[in-house]
Structure formats: structure tokens, C-alpha cells
Amino acid sequence: MILINGQTESRIEVLDRGLQYGDGLFETLAYRNNKIEFLEQHLQRLQTDSQRLNISLSESGLTKIHQELDFVCQNLQDEAVIKLIVTRGVGGRGYFAGQDLSPTRIISSHTLPSYPQHFPQSGITVRFCQHRLSESAILAGIKHLNRLDQVLGRNEWTDKTIAEGLMFDQHDNLIEGTMSNIFLVNSGNLLTPKLNLSGVAGVIRATIIRLASENGLTVIEQTLSKTDLIEANEVFVCNSVNGIWPVNNIIDTQQSYSVGSITQQCQSWLSQAIK
Amino acid sequence: MILINGQTESRIEVLDRGLQYGDGLFETLAYRNNKIEFLEQHLQRLQTDSQRLNISLSESGLTKIHQELDFVCQNLQDEAVIKLIVTRGVGGRGYFAGQDLSPTRIISSHTLPSYPQHFPQSGITVRFCQHRLSESAILAGIKHLNRLDQVLGRNEWTDKTIAEGLMFDQHDNLIEGTMSNIFLVNSGNLLTPKLNLSGVAGVIRATIIRLASENGLTVIEQTLSKTDLIEANEVFVCNSVNGIWPVNNIIDTQQSYSVGSITQQCQSWLSQAIK
């Protein structure tokens, strides 16, 4: 099912700025056990990001998003991924948008991706992407629609035994996976890349940082390199659909990690937070 | 008029990757005196860029684009801007596209923007954009649909007496205007920013470089700064719709330039190349 501004519809205006310029934002939501997981956190992030891009998402717009998500969920038979896109709207002249545009709301539901069910327990194999993430202090962290970096990174491999590709920035700093954020464990501390120049500041990343800190773990956001990966005791990636996947193997360095206790602890905290 | 894959249509599939990820390219074409200016150069750039993004634009796809552009032009009563978008197509699972997608062709015609007719002769006033362009060695130069940088730059001002905003990269290097490329004249040489980390390598930019070189001018692509702007004798911006606009005034530095002889010479070469 696809809703555009509340109407069942599968197509949008060509002149929508989401298509013309990638001028918009999105959220990827997991619908399981009859609810959207971390909905308020996703909508809070959407609001923050829309302010950063000067997209005028109003209170009434947010209310409509709530109603439309409810409607989509009522029509779901099963677990699903729900993608919410908000664009700056239709029109404007060239890059200039003006203040009068009304944001477009696009909500679509999709079947959950069919990854092996054992990934969260037994872990995954990852590779390094050759494609390097763009660097921009202003756009870093925002879940915007300019996602060519992720497209090019993800399309480097077809081997289904590789579950994720790790991405680096223009200066070879480790940033994230193509569809996930990344954490390392070293000396009992949780490390995750600073996202001040690249990357998407994911809702699950923020949740893990919060839960780990509340539970007394030291969490450090810092610049991380391949060396930090090599020296790590545990590595895991996370996103809203898949939760936490431990990393077992990195193809490029032939390095192996076991599924460690801190990774399992984070999985447990995350599960409890969803309930 | 809008044609999507040859059909008159104003809407595209929500699941088109152009909307979902900005996963595509575009060309902005000027239709004047019953022809599209520099059409072959635009289509050559489209082919080059599609190869860089691994978008499988085939020979038959290009033939269809020619035919569809002809059809749109036959229906034009007047001069126009024609925008050609090519996306990677509809579908794929998440960022992964696979090899089977068929690119989407979107051709739309628009009235020419109503800039004052004296701009090419008397020049324009510009400002500096605060927003800094993203840096990516792989994406630099490509006219792709990830254009949030230009949107944010262009939406910094509403004053219609300011015709263009100059954009700098993350390291304060001068790169381009929001909708144009830029050239400086210093000691009789033509200087233009290297586009190895940011910027769009415009068709008119390439044409000016070629024409100036053929006519014995020294053209240097190099890293340029605000200091180079201050030291320049002449400055001009260019794009496919507006041709060459001399820069008269920079608001931020309160600097003025007269319309110089090399700028006028480039305008003359460009006019002759269009005929």
C-alpha cells in the first residue's frame, strides 16, 4: 500500500522536488507485534532533520503522518517495513523553493527483507566498500533523500553471503554500513564513529548510545579507522529493521570476531526497549 | 508537456529510484531558434555520467531520448527549457538495484526563466552562499539528482537583484554558482575551479574551455579561493540556459568588476558555436 498525502496512490508528480533534487527526508520503520517500533524517536528525528533542511513540516503535517501511519498499519496482515518520505513539495523555480511549498507525505509498506533468522545470534560476514562517502558538515547525520553514496556502495557486491558493506569517508575513516550504523567494543567501551562529516545518525544508534550509557557502559563517539576495527574485541551493526547484527567476519582483512557479551547485552537492552 | 518513457504523463512511480534515492542524472537544455543547443554535448555528458554511476543507458535508450526530445520540441510554440532526467529505474530491494532495471526517461518542457535581458551585457550581482558543497572524489562533476547542496545554497536569499550565489567546498575553495560554473580572468588567463571533489562539470563550461583553448587563450583548471576572486580582473558565470553572465558585484566583498574584453570574447565564441 502507498499513501500520498493521505490518498491511496502509487505515483507522484514529476515536479515534486523529491524526484527533481532529492529534496526531502525519509524514515524506515519496522512494524512488528502490532506496532511501529520507536515511532516517536523516528518522528522526532524527522522533525529535527526537517528543521535542518528548512522543510516546513508543521504540527498539522505531523498529525496527518500519525493518522496515515495508523491507517497503513490497520491494513497490514503481517510484520512489515514502512517507509515514510517527506519531500519539500511540488514546484518552485529551479533550485529556489520559496516558503510557500507544502511538504509531500509518502507512506509505503513493504514485506520485511528475508535475511536469515540466525543473523542476530550467529552474526554476519561484511566487506569493505570501495565507494567513499561524501563529506559535508551541514548534511552529515541527516536521513535525506540524497543517497547515491549508499546506492553505489551497496551495488558493489551481489554475493548474498555478505550481509553488509562497511563504508569509509574521503579520508578513510570508518563511518557506517550501507544500511546500518556500526559499533565497536574495545576494552569494555562502546565506540561508534562521530558523524560530523558523513553518515546517517540512525534511531537505533541513538537508542543504543542512550541505553548503554544509562546502564553504565562508557560510549565514545570518535573518529575511527580500519586499525580500530582490527583492534576491536567485538563489532556490530544496527538499524531499525534488523536490530543488532554481530559482525563475525570481515572479508577484506580476513578478520574474525566472536559474538561478544557486550553485543549480546546491547541486543537485550534493545529488545526490552521495544517491548 | 511531460513525457515519461515516451508517454504523456505527469506522474512517476513512487518506487522509482529517482525519488527513493536521487538515483539518477539530469540535463538542462535550452531550446531556441528551433533547436536544442549543444544537444550532442549534453547527451555525451549523460552517457559518460551514466557509466560513472553504472546506470545502464543503452544505445536504444539514447535513440528513444532523441525521438522523445524531437516530439517535445515539435510541440513547443516558443523558446523553452527542456529538462531530461534519467533514473536507474523502478525497484530493487533497498539500496541494492541489481542489473535488471530499465532506466526511466523523463522529459519536461518549461518556459524560460524571466531574467532581465541585459544580464549578458551589463552583468549581474552575486553573493556568497554560506552552505558548503559536499566533497566526494567519485561523485564530483556528475550532474546527478542528489542536489540538496544546490537547493540549500539557492534558498539562502530571496532578493531578486541577486542573480546567483557562489558556492565553496568544505575547505573554502571556490567551486561554482548554485546553477552555473564560474570563470575568472587574471593576467589574460582564464581560470576555472578544478572539479575533482565537488561541483558539476557543465556542458557550457567544457565548451568555453575548448573554444578558449582553440583560440589561443591559456585556460587553467585549478584550486581557487576567495583571494583569487579578489585578484581577478574579470569574473563570469555560465550555464546552458543563460549562456555567459559577467559578474559585476560581489555583495560580500563589496567588490566590483567591469565587463571585460575576455568575457566578451568568450560570449562571442559561444554565440558562434551555437549557430
Chain B 134-163, CB below 8 Å of chain A: which residues? 134-139, 144-155, 158
| Predicted confidence (pLDDT) per residue in B181-235, tens digit | 999 999 999 999 999 999 999 999 999 999 999 999 999 999 999 999 999 999 9
CA distance A63 to chain B (A): 22
Q: Please tell me whether the interface predicted TM-score (ipTM) of this complex is above 0.95.
A: yes
CA distance A261 to chain B (A): 31
Compute the average pLDDT of residues B42-69. Answer: 97
CA distance B217 to chain A (A): 33
Residue B275 has pLDDT above 90, yes or no: no
Q: Which of A9, A20, A127 to mutate to test the interface with B (most CBs of B within 10 A)?
A: A20
- pLDDT given for residue A98 in this prediction: 83
> Which residue in chain A has the smallest CA separation from B91?
A110
Residue A99 has pLDDT above 90, yes or no: no
What CATH number belongs to A119-274? 3.20.10.10
Strand segments (E) across chain B: 2-4, 7-8, 11-13, 24-32, 35-36, 80-87, 104-110, 124-133, 162-169, 174-177, 181-186, 189-193, 219-222, 234-239, 243-250, 255-256
B241 sits in the region (left: phi over 0; alpha: psi -120 to 50; else beta) called: alpha
Chain B 177-196, CB below 8 Å of chain A: which residues? 178-179
Q: What percent of chain A is modeled with pLDDT above 90?
A: 97
CB B141 within 8 A of CB B195: yes
Q: What percent of chain B is modeled with pLDDT above 70?
A: 100
> Which residue in chain A has the smallest CA separation from B24?
A148
- Contact between chains at A148 and B21 (C-beta distance less than 8 A): yes
Q: Is A4 on the interface with B (CB under 8 A)?
A: yes
- pLDDT given for residue A154 in this prediction: 98
pLDDT bucket at A129, cuts 50 / 70 / 90: very high
Model confidence pTM above 0.90: yes
- pLDDT given for residue A69 in this prediction: 98
Cell (9 digits) for B135: 566533497
A132 vs B54, B97, B136: nearest CB: B136
- Residue A168: which residues within 8 A CB-CB, separation 6 or more? A128, A129, A132, A133, A174, A175, A226
Alpha carbons within 13 angstroms on the beta-carbon side of residue A200 total 27
Beta strand B162-169 with B255-256 is: unpaired
Where helices occur in A175-222 by DSSP H, the ranges are 203-214
Can you name the CATH fold of B2-110?
D-amino Acid Aminotransferase; Chain A, domain 1 (3.30.470)
Q: Which residues are paired to B161 by β-bridges?
A: none
In single-letter form, the type of residue at position B33 comes to N
The answer to whether domain A2-110 and domain A119-274 are alike in fold is no
CB B165 within 8 A of CB B126: yes
pLDDT bucket at B53, cuts 50 / 70 / 90: very high
- pLDDT given for residue B9 in this prediction: 95
- Contact between chains at B135 and A134 (C-beta distance less than 8 A): yes
Where are the domains positioned within chain A?
A: 2-110, 119-274
Q: What percent of chain B is modeled with pLDDT above 90?
A: 97
Compute the average pLDDT of residues B13-40. Answer: 98
| Predicted confidence (pLDDT) per residue in B64-94, tens digit | 999 999 999 999 999 999 999 999 999 978 9
